[in-house]
A and B are shown apart, each in its own frame.
Chain A
Amino acid sequence: MTTTSAIVSDRYSTSTSQVLISIAVLLACLIVLFFVVDTAVVQDWLGYARREEARVPTFFLRIVVLIGAIAAAFFAITGTSSYRRNRVSYAPWLFLAVGLAFFMVYVIIPIFQSFSYSFTRWDGLYDVNGIWTGEWVGFRNYGLLLNDPNFYTSLWNNLLWLVLFMLAVPIGLGIALFLNQTVTGIRIYKSLFFFPFVISQVVVGLIFAWAYNPEFGLLSEIWGWFYCETKVNIVGNLTKVCSVDPPSILGNEHLATYGIIAAGLWPQIAYCMILYLTGLNNVSPDQVEAGRLDGAKGWNMLWHVILPQLRPATFIAIVVTVIGALRSFDMIATMTQGGPFGSTNVLAYYMYDQAVGEGVGRYGYGSAIATVLFLIMLVYISYFLWRMYQDEKGAH
């Protein structure tokens, strides 16, 4: 009896020496990290001739000390009695801690930073003494946004993207239904249809930009068969003369956004298709059979038997498509850079353009745009989280 209770109390009591040693190591690591290891010291210690050469070893030293500090903190916490008593509830948080810290530093804190920048006028510079050069302007940036025609163009384009990008869902479903059959070599066809999703968005953008090019693109070649003829120009070179000019899709402010969305749809359809293909694998054959017996065919079968079973796939397809539409950035950057004259901007690109791009340096204004985009996304994300929560509840 006595031995058991001794073991129990020992198991849950604080191991003082472990905690003290680890805290000492932790403090030592932190002191080294913040006060000792800098480039000049490393240069001195290791005998580098110039500071630039000592930069990489400094970085590695800091990483090593940081890992030491984290390990020491880990040992210090696991040595305490309170941890030992509540191991099951503490352990997950301990493992999450590092990830959460990074999430805070790189996601949560920057969100609030950009909120605060959106109330300032700032060109992104700190002066030579490290002092911030901006000024507080309250809601002025938001006032400017309301008068900025480019902002409304971007907002409207975001809406166009959201609506038209949704086409990827039904088209993806159609292709998935079409490919969901057993024919020799169907795997090859499936992978061919999936191919556009594999290649990078930048490459898709370039391919479409070339295809649209009114001088040498695929579209203008086809157009040329009907409306153009080849003539000899003044210096004796062959040149194309058209009775009706081929459309300059990316050079026309009314067509350019549609052109980019069409390019964006190509990989997105492939993505939705693959989601539906996996969904179709899980469609229960019993229910299809039962439906058949009750005389369901064609549309009825699809609408009443198949689609309800594809609901999870549809939900995910809509989620990824909305997210894809809202972060449509790389296509615009590769195809038009927001042009002609800003008519293909979306909020994400306009924000980049005003804050970071080509040294325009309106960080306050860019942050205001980012905040608006964040609020729009927040509406959608809250709905998404709420839906997930409801589903989880339903599962129990």
Chain B
Amino acid sequence: MFKSLIRATAAFGTAALLSTSALAAGDLVITFDDLNPDKKAAFEAAVEAFKKANPDINVTANNGDREAHKNTIRNALQNDAPDVITWYPGNRMGPFVDAGLFADISDLWASDENLKGNFNAIKPTMSRDGKQWGVPYSYYQWGVYYRKDIYDKLSLKEPATWDELLANCDKMKEAGVTPFTIGTKFLWTAAGVFDYLNLRTNGYEVHNDLTAGKIKYSDPKIKATFANWKEMIERCSFVKNHATMSWQDAIAPFAKGDAAMYVMGNFSVGQYKDAGLKDEQIDFFPFPKIADVPRAEEAPADAFFIPAKAKNIENAKKFLSFIATAEIQGTWNKAIGQLPPNAAAEINKDDKFIVEGMETVSTAAGLAQFYDRDAPAAMAKAGMEGFQKFMLDTSTLDEVLANLDRVQAEVYK
């Protein structure tokens, strides 16, 4: 009687009671965080392929907004964990790894055919405390996107060195073109420029030491980076009003032809085309060389992790090893226009940005994740505010660096 009453209430509450289904060999709950149509479709296709390969596993795939995910993941990991969840490698996974909320999957990295041999470039960023914590499904290159038609009109060449870049900038300014566009309203775009200047001025080690809190912001090496940035701001110059623009807003002057270059990630290419630019009007070059240091690149990855509270860890591992295969990595990244972390995967040879991007990152001496993923979030926030302040008024440099030293001393404790 009591049971039937409960049944009735529950049926009333849920409006529809789902029919009892036979228990499958196991469940797998996946939480994904990208609702952009192409990203969503690629993820769903991969899940379908997994279902086909493992018909006995009952897969539930949830998808949500990326920004909201950054907050909801805390609750998801602590209370109601799915079996597989997306998150960022590098220092961004640090707090969750340190709190023991991600499962250690070093055994999978040691035994899986694909993970063992084809992920060497990305393995360090997936590691913390000498163990591996996730499997990347995609990454993309950063670099300079430029208006090829403007370059041709001014008969400029892709710059390979700092001096060539500055010389190009001079010519553009003479012709009334602002060399660089950027939108720093949401801060992170400025970090892209800083990272490249720092990687080219000081190299990969210094980038890692800085984001790991081992060297100060007032260190002479970092000051040299800022000196180059100052030169870039003065001789190249960025669009005015960048502090009120998002990265998408900053595409407008680029598309219009008022600005000629954009330090950006490869995800922006689709937006240039949406803004009316044709494939032959835009092109890509790696950020030019400054000092004599091995060339490292920014190549942020997106990855899947297994929460420590996951209920179906074996199925989750099956899924991770499935998405690590060259086949899945190839089709997935072809669909979303990004690069597969699996070195054996096929890339889209018809997309010149992907071809050039693969060339750029596969020959790089090191891959940085991005300032706000390599540095802890509290440091990154203060750091990027400092970069914006410096970009708006380069004379505030000493004040900015002193403040960043202060925040650094608090955050890395």
Contacts and interface: CB of A to CB of B under 8 A. Distances in A.
A244 B49 CA distance: 59
Interface centre among B13, B23, B154, B386 (most CB of A within 10 A): B13
Interface string A184-217: 0000000000000000000000000000111100
Given A48-B18, A340-B388, A215 B241 contact: yes
Given A46-B10, A235-B153, A239-B258, A359 B70 contact: yes
Interface stretch (A51-59, A170-178, A283-291): A51-59
Contacts of B147: 235
B74 A125 contact: yes
A233 interface: yes
Interface string B316-331: 0000000000000000
A46 B403 contact: no
A332 to B, nearest CB: 13
B303 interface: no
A361 interface: yes
A243 interface: no
A248 B241 CA distance: 6
B210 to A, nearest CB: 18
A interface, how many residues as a size bin?
35 or more
Interface centre among B177, B308, B311, B410 (most CB of A within 10 A): B410
B100 A213 contact: no
Given A358-B377, A359-B377, A339 B3 contact: no
B267 interface: no
Interface string B240-256: 11111100010010001
A349 to B, nearest CB: 13
Interface string A353-383: 1101011111000000000000000000000
A339 B388 contact: yes
Given A56-B13, A61-B9, A360-B378, A234 B176 contact: yes
Contacts of A53: 18
B241 A214 contact: yes
A57 B14 contact: yes
Interface in A39-83: 42, 45-53, 56-57, 59-61, 64
B187 to A, nearest CB: 7
Contact of A50 (B60, B78, B99, B388): B60
A60 B388 contact: no
Interface centre among A51, A124, A128 (most CB of B within 10 A): A128
Contacts of B99: 123, 125-128, 133
Interface in B212-249: 240-245, 249
Given A250-B244, A360-B378, A125 B101 contact: yes
Given A47-B20, A60-B9, A358-B377, A235 B149 contact: yes
B40 interface: no
Nearest to A241: B176
A127 B27 CA distance: 24
A113 interface: no
B378 A362 contact: yes
Contact of B258 (A56, A233, A253): A233
Interface residues of B, number: 68
Contacts of B95: 123, 125, 361
A147 B406 CA distance: 9
Contacts of A214: 240-241, 244
A125 B241 contact: no
Contact of B177 (A49, A57, A215, A233): A233
Contacts of B386: 341
Contact of A341 (B71, B150, B245, B389): B389
A317 B62 CA distance: 48
A256 to B, nearest CB: 9
A342 interface: yes
A50 B27 contact: yes
A42 B377 CA distance: 40
Nearest to A235: B257
Contact of A49 (B58, B245, B388, B392): B58
A251 interface: yes
Contacts of A5: none
Interface in B18-77: 18, 20-24, 27, 29, 58, 60, 70-71, 74
A57 B243 contact: no
Interface string A104-124: 000000000000000001011
Given A125-B101, A147-B406, A234-B176, A359 B71 contact: yes
Interface string A25-49: 0000000000000000010011111
A258 to B, nearest CB: 15
A385 B95 CA distance: 44
B1 interface: no
Nearest to B18: A53
B381 A358 contact: yes
A149 interface: yes
Contacts of B308: 128
Contacts of B185: 336-337, 339
Given A123-B95, A125-B74, A237-B257, A45 B3 contact: yes
Contacts of A49: 18, 20-24, 58
A239 B177 CA distance: 11
A127 B100 contact: yes
B10 A57 contact: yes
A242 B44 CA distance: 49
A253 B246 CA distance: 17
A45 B71 contact: no
Interface centre among A130, A235, A337, A360 (most CB of B within 10 A): A235
Contact of A128 (B22, B101, B153, B245): B101
A337 B100 CA distance: 32
Contact of B410 (A47, A144, A235): A144
Interface in A241-278: 245, 248, 250-253
Contact of B245 (A64, A215, A234): A215
B412 interface: no
A59 B241 CA distance: 50
Interface string B143-178: 000010110011000000000000000000001110
Contacts of B60: 50, 52
A57 B16 CA distance: 10
Given A49-B58, A341-B389, A358-B381, A125 B70 contact: no
A215 B252 contact: yes
Contacts of A52: 29, 60
B243 A339 contact: yes
19 contacts: A45-B3, A46-B7, A56-B13, A57-B9, A57-B14, A61-B9, A126-B78, A127-B99, A144-B410, A215-B245, A215-B252, A234-B150, A239-B257, A248-B241, A250-B244, A251-B392, A252-B243, A342-B385, A362-B378
Given A234-B257, A253-B389, 16 more contacts: A45-B6, A49-B24, A125-B78, A125-B95, A126-B78, A128-B100, A213-B244, A215-B241, A234-B153, A336-B185, A337-B186, A339-B243, A339-B388, A340-B243, A360-B378, A361-B377
- A-B pairs, top 3 by smallest CB distance, nearest first, are A60-B13, A235-B257, A251-B243
